[in-house]
Amino acid sequence: MTECEFCEKEFDEKTELHIHWGEEHENELNSHQQEKVKKAQRKKEENKEAKTQKRRNLLLKGLTGVTLVIFAVITVPQIMSMFQSSPFQLDQQPMMGDENASVTVVEFGDYQCSHCKTFDSEVKPQLKNEYIDSGEVKFYYINFPVINENSELAARAGEYVKANDPENFWDFHSELFSISGPLTQELIASTANKTTNISEEEIEEGLTSEEANSNVNTDKEVANKNGVKRTPTVYVNGERTGNSYEEIKSAVESNLENEN
Ligand code: CA
């Protein structure tokens, strides 16, 4: 504590006292005291400047943090989704579900493959009930005909139906999977007749169409490029998973969680 010799007011620090001198007793000060006032005023100014600078730095730091957070929120998911969906061009593939669904499941399949038949009759319906119908998952099918000539024929039929009667594609697709035994041209044609608006004659022509053939080849290239060796092979947001419902469900759930 220090006391003002002019008015007996008390101050914690000398600097405060000297500031007080300058404000209240300017005319009573000797030259030595006037020096002290000037010194105290300089110190006060410096402190003020230092505080302002500190605030500026804090603000800047905060802004950098906020900018980083904004960057992370906006950009990281975009980058992630670029990587996640990058292995496949899916816009020409048949899709089931809401196009805005955040999780993408892709199946590479062969209509003659028995595990794919099980996948279509047991796994896909569960996926549909739990995630596709709710708009959380969209499902794509890509042909990977590997078993025999009938696989190739059925894949072409699928491409033809997708191009000419897309509304009925999934009915045709599941009906083909429900048939056990060789998918002959006649059987494929009668299946198309039963599930789509395409006549038997039309689909028979479709089976030899250049467009259907080329689409199947594109599908095979995608499969080969990604190292797909067997069917069904399943990807969830660009990452390969097992093909059981539990494995797919767990991948879907972890992608849905990451999103939140
Ligand atoms: Ca295709």
The CATH 3.40.30.10 portion of the chain extends over: 88-259
Q: How far is the CA of 10 from the centre of ligand 1 (A)?
A: 89
What pLDDT is recorded for position 133?
98
Q: How far is the CA of 94 from the centre of ligand 1 (A)?
A: 7
Q: Tell me the C-alpha distance between 169 and 153, whole Å.
A: 16
What pLDDT is recorded for position 2?
84
Q: How far is the CA of 214 from the centre of ligand 1 (A)?
A: 9
Q: Tell me the C-alpha distance between 174 and 229, whole Å.
A: 22
Those residues whose C-beta lies under 8 Å from the C-beta of residue 170, and which sit 6 or more positions away, are 94, 96
Check if CATH label 3.20.20.80 holds for domain 88-259: no
Q: Tell me the C-alpha distance between 153 and 179, whole Å.
A: 14
Q: How far is the CA of 194 from the centre of ligand 1 (A)?
A: 22
What pLDDT is recorded for position 73?
54
pLDDT by residue (tens digit) across 121-137?
Answer: 999 999 999 999 999 99
Q: How far is the CA of 241 from the centre of ligand 1 (A)?
A: 20
pLDDT by residue (tens digit) across 100-125?
Answer: 999 999 999 999 999 999 999 999 99
Residues (pLDDT < 50) of the chain are 77-86
Those residues whose C-beta lies under 8 Å from the C-beta of residue 18, and which sit 6 or more positions away, are 33, 36, 37, 39, 40
